[in-house]
Structure formats: C-alpha cells, structure tokens
Amino acid sequence: MLSYLIRRIVNAVITLLVVTMVTFGIFFAVPTITGSDPALLYIGKTADPASLEGIRTKLGLDDPIPVQYGKFLKGLVAGRDYANGADVTHCDAPCLGYSFKTEQEVTPLLISDIPVTLSLAIGAAILWVLFGVATGVLSALKRGTFLDRAAMTGALAGVSLPIYFTGQLALLIFIHELGWLPDAAYTPFLEDPAGWFTGLILPWVTLAFLFAATYARLTRANMLETLGEDYIRTARSKGLPERTVIGKHGLRAVLTPLVTVFGLDFGTLLAGAILTEQVFNLRGLGYQALTAIRQNDLPVILGVTLIAAIFIVVINLIVDLLYSVIDPRVRLG
C-alpha cells in the first residue's frame, strides 16, 4: 500500500512536470519561433527599446528557454526575485510570476478564482451523479418499458446538446421569461448561503443535465451487463430481497467503472468549466483562462494550466485509491 502510494505520487509529480513543460513550450517557444516577442506582449507595442530591454532582463526573457523553465520551477518551490538593477520585486513561493496585463501576482489571483469553479463543479457533480445513476438503474430494471425508452431518449438528447446552447435557453426561459431566479452569479457561501444557492442553481442544473445523460447511459449499460452475472443469480437464489440484490451486489459492480469516469470528468471540470462559466458569466478559473489566452497573458495561462493539471492528477489518485474500497476484487500493488 505504502509503496503503491509513493509510486503514484512520483508518477503524479512527473505528470505535472510534463504538463508545465508542454505549456511552457507552447507559450514561450512557439511565439519565439513565429517571431512575436513576449516582452512586447508585456509592455505593449509602443514601448521604447530601453524599457523593453529592462523588462526582458527583469523577467529573464533573454535567457535560453530551459533556463527560463528552471527559474519558473524554482519560483514554484522557493519563491523568486525579479531584479533589474536596483529594482527588485520578491514573489513568495509558490510563485507563478506576474500577469503581463494587470501586473498582479498570479498566485493570489488564481486562488481567488478557485471557490467559484469549485462551487460550480461540486454542486453540479452531486446533481448529475444522483440523477444519472438513479435514471440508469431504473432504466435497466424496467428495460424495454415506456419509462426506459423515455429516459434513454432524453439521455441521448442530453449528450447531443452543447451547454453553450442549453445554458442560453435556460437563461432565457427561467430568468427572462418566467423570472423565477435572479441572474446567475457567484456569491461567496459564507457571506450569503441563500444567494450562493440561487445564483448557482441554474448553472448546476444545466451542467448536471449534460453529464447526467452520459452517466444514465453508462449506468444502464453496466447494470444490464451486471444483472446477467452469476453472482446476481446466486444472490437471488439465496433468497435475498431484490432491494439487497440490486443495491448491494449490483450497484457495487456498476459503480466501479463509473468512478473512473467521474474522476476524469470532475477533474476536467475543475480544470476550467470554461464553457459554463462563459455562458453564465461566472468569473472562475475557466473564465480566467480564456481571458488570459485571448490576451496572450503567458504567466496566467501557465498558472491555470498547472492548477488544472494538479486537480486532475490529485483526483485521479483519489479515484484509484477509492477503487480498492469499492471493488473488493481490486488489489493495489
């Protein structure tokens, strides 16, 4: 168990290093090859050569790219000083540098965005797992009935509907036509729990509908496969009540593959519910990422990608550990 954990953590760190390297490569190396200058991005096209040179020295943009990458890593672990002669700025670890556009420190900027995305993702995840799995199980048990067909038609429609369409439809119907809800917005939970809930309920439901459709289809397929297994027949012939057969023996086997999918989906969602945040105008990590990419704000892009990758790697690790708890057949080793 311990050696497994250590191996997985080493693996996770390697993955994170590769992600930062690839991002670094894309955003620092590609502009150099195509001939645009990061220092120009930072200071604007009107800059005079002297201040441009100053910026270059200060940000270390004159160094070869591997050296720049090394400095970036050092900043993450130990903090970093940006120096241009007497003008020294210290940036505490974990330092992700300064935004090219707003000159703010990137780390606190991104940390302030995390609660928005986290609220969005957790609320939606609870909804979609509950509804998706319940629909899938019911559909499988009532296979071939009207209920099954209606649910599966709905689910197929769900996987074919993009959120940037359903989101606008939902906004139009529930906010502008019916007036049931205030505008979608993020209010910190600790400030106003009710406002937090009403502001996010529409994004949650819209996002959850999309994922619930996928989960319902997956659950149904897995449940049907499981119900054909010998151990289900054994459980039934032992005289166990149907509720125990389905709930304890069936559902457990169904959940195992779902947990993997959930890990991937939830991780990616935390990595930036870019589309959802864009539609509902929520200022989370995804919104930040998109703004940064549009403005070529390299340090912010690098920061968001790193945080996103950390979320994905950590959640996948948790999922793999959970695996051995849910499925007794799995042994970690």
Partner 1 sequence: MSIGPEASITDERSAPTDDPAAERGSGEKAIAGRSLKQIAWRRLKRDKVALAGAVVVILLVILAVLAPVLTRLWGYPINEFHGDQIDPTIQTPLGAYGGISKDFLLGVEPGSGRDIFSRILYGAQTTLVVAILSALVSTILGGLLGLAAGYLGGWVDSVISRVMDFLLAFPQLLFAIALVSVLPDDLFGLDGRWSRVIVLIGVIGFFGWPYIGRIVRGQTLSLREREFVEASKSLGARSGRILFKELLPNLAAPILVYTTLIIPTNILTDAALSFLGVGIPPPNPSWGGMLSDALTYYTFDPMYMIIPGSMIFITVLAFNLFGDGLRDALDPKAR
Sites of contact with partner 1 (CB under 8 A): 15, 18-19, 22-23, 26-27, 30-31, 34, 156-157, 159-165, 168-169, 171-172, 176, 210-211, 214, 217-218, 221-222, 225, 257, 260-261, 264-265, 267-269, 271-275, 278-279, 289-290, 293-294, 296, 301, 304-305, 308-309, 312-313, 316
State the nearest-atom distance from the C-beta of 222 to partner 1, in Å: 6
Q: Which residues contact 60 (CB under 8 A, 6 or more apart)?
A: 67, 68, 71, 82
Of 55, 35, 34, 51, the closest CA to residue 98 belongs to 55
- Distance, in Å, from the CA atom of 36 to the CA atom of 264, rounded to the nearest integer, reads 35
Kindly tell me which of 57 and 214 has the beta carbon lying closer to partner 1: 214
Q: How far apart are CB 70 and partner 1 at their closest, in Å?
A: 22
State in angstroms the smallest separation of the CB of 26 from partner 1.
6
Nearer to partner 1, 81 or 229 (CB): 229
Q: How far is the CB of 133 from partner 1 (least distance, A)?
A: 14
DSSP state letter for 20: H
C-beta closer to partner 1: residue 196 or 284: 284
Amino acid at 228: G
CB of 266 to partner 1, least distance (A): 10
Q: How far apart are CA 96 and CA 59, in angstroms?
A: 12
Residue closer to partner 1 by CB (options 168, 234) is 168
For residue 55, give the nearest of 70, 65, 41 by alpha carbon: 41
- In our burial notation (b when 16+ CB lie closer than 10 A, e otherwise), range 145-162 reads eeebeebbeebeebeebe
Phi, psi of 190 (to 5 degrees): -70, -25
CA distance 135 to 44: 54
Contact 154, 161 (CB under 8 A): no
Smallest CA-to-CA distance from 221 within 122, 139, 159, 311 is with 139
**Smallest gap, in angstroms, from Cβ of residue 212 to partner 1?**
12
Query: Residue 292 and residue 138: Cα distance in Å, rounded?
Result: 44
Q: Decide whether 20 or 58 has the Cβ nearer to partner 1.
A: 20
User: Which residues have a Cβ under 8 Å from the Cβ of 1 and sit 6 or more positions away?
Assistant: 332
Nearer to partner 1, 58 or 136 (CB): 136
Q: Which two tokens stand for residue 24?
A: 């670094």
- Whose Cβ is closer to partner 1: residue 91's or residue 232's? 232
Q: Yes or no: say if 305 and 20 are a contact pair by the CB < 8 Å rule.
A: yes
Provide, rounded to whole angstroms, the least separation between the CB of residue 155 and partner 1.
10
* DSSP code for 182: P
Q: How far is the CB of 257 from partner 1 (least distance, A)?
A: 5
Q: Which is nearer to partner 1, 147 or 259 (CB)?
A: 259
